[in-house]
Structure 1
C-alpha cells in the first residue's frame, strides 16, 4: 500500500502520518488502516506546515517528503504516479484569515483540489480521500446535520471547502474516480498551530497573557481529538463506500465560554485573563454532526473524552515550548 498524504506536515496531516507509521498521537487504540509500504508527504510548508511535526517518524525508511504546492500541476504530475491512495488534507483552514483575504483559500482549496483530482484520474490512482469540515453546512440551531444536508457555507473558508467537496464528488460521478469525503468537527490536540482557539488560549495562558472571547461566548462547537479524527479518516480510507460522505465527530458540544472555562482551569488561571472582543463577521452560531453513518457502517466511535484530551493537550504544550515558542515569537498569530 503506497499512500500520498497532502498537507502531511500540518496539524492533522502529520498526526495521520505518525499514526500510519506507528506513532499514535493520543491513544493506544489500534490503527484502523493497513500499514503503508511507502508514504509520501506533499506539503508546501506554509506558515502552518512544520517539519518538526514529522520528527517522530523522520527516520522511517517508508517516509518520503516532497516540498511543493498542490496547485503546481507539473509537480503534482510527478508525485501522484505509483500511489494506491491519496489522502488530501492540504488546505488553507483559518476562518479569520479567509475574512481578511479569500484568494489563497480559493486557490489552494478549490484549484489545488482540482489539480490533484485531475492527476489522480490521469494516473489511475486508487482511492481519493478528501478531508473536509462541518463548516460547509453553515449553522444549525437544533439537531444535527446528516451527510445529505444541503451545503450553506457562511465564510470564504467554508465556501472554498464546500466547492472542493462538490468537485471531488463530481469526479466520482462523472469519471468513476474512487472518491470518499470526510467532514469533521473542531479538532484539538498536540502540534496544532497556535492561531486556533485551543492552542492560542493555552499558550497565551501559559505565558501569563490574556485570551480573547468572541461576542457573548455562546457559539457552540463539537470538539474532536485529532487522533480520533485520524482514526475515522483511516476507517473511511479502508472501508468507506465510494462516492459517499462520512461525518467524524467528537460527541462533546460546548459553548466557547464553557471551553474557555475549562482551559482556564487547566492552566490555573482566572476570568480576569479573558478579554471580550467584537464577534467575528458571519460567525456561525452552532455546529453539530450526526455520526450515525460512520458508526453503524464502519464502527467508528470517539475514544478520547474531552476532559482527558484537554488535560493531555495542555500538558503537551507545557512540555513542548521549544515547538511553539518560535511560532509565537515569529509573529504567528
Structure 2
C-alpha cells in the first residue's frame, strides 16, 4: 500500500475542568486526509480546498509531526498529504490536532503500523506546538485513541484511555476565530488555593463519574472555576447559551478547547437536539453565523476509510 484516506475527527479538549489533561473525540466535524507514500525523503502538505498552508512542512500542523516521524525511519521515504479541511482553524474543535493526528495515523498505516499509539501522540504534539507554541496532548490523544483520554503527564508521556459513556455531544461553532495562542495568553499565571481545591475535586469527580458510568456525577463535576471565567469573555453569548442549554436538560458543558466552540453533554439524542435548537436561537438572535453538530462520543478516533 502506498496510499490511504483518513477520517480525522474533531475533539473537545479540557472537558470544562480538565485543562490540558482531558479530551474526548467527536464523530463530526471531521477532516478528510489523503496520504501518499513517496520514494524520496521529503514531506509535502497541500490543501484540497484552497486554504493557505505554509510551504515549509516544519511550519505546518500536519507536516511537523511527519518530519519528526522521519527522524525515526532509516529509509529513503517521505509523505505527501492532501487535506480536505472541514474543521475550521481557530474553532476550538481540534482543527490542528485533526491534521497532526490524521497525518501520523495515515503514515503509520502505510508503514504497516510500526509505531504505537503513544509514539504517534509524541509525533502529533509537534503539530500542536506549531499551532499554539506549546506541546499538549488533550486533543491529539482522543483523536488517536478515540473516546475520552486522561493525560497524566506529557513528559514523560502518560496517556490513560477512559471508558467513554454513551452520551451525546452537541457542539456549536460560532463563526468567529479565537486563536489558541491568544486564548492561552489571557490566562492567569497564579491561582487561588481555594479555587484550585474546587477544581481538583471536579476533575476527580469527573474521572470517577466516567469510570463508574455515573452520569449524574459527570454532570455535577462539569464546573470550571479557573479557565472558563477568563476565556468566556472572548465568546459572545456564552453565559446566555450555557444557561439555556442547562435549562433544556444538558448534563453540563462549556468551552470546547480554547473556543469559540461550545459543547454540551446529554443523556439522549432527543435532549441533544433540543440543546442544538437553543444554541441556534442564541446565535441567530446575535446575528452571528454558526455551525452545529450532534454526535455520540466517537470511540474509534482517526481511522482509515
TM-score above 0.5, yes or no: no
Q: Larger relative contact order (C-alpha < 8 A, sep ≥ 6)?
A: 2
TM-score normalized by the length of structure 1: 0.29
TM-score normalized by the length of structure 2: 0.30
Kindly indicate which of the two structures has a greater share of residues assigned to strand: 2
Kindly indicate which of the two structures has a greater share of residues assigned to helix: 1
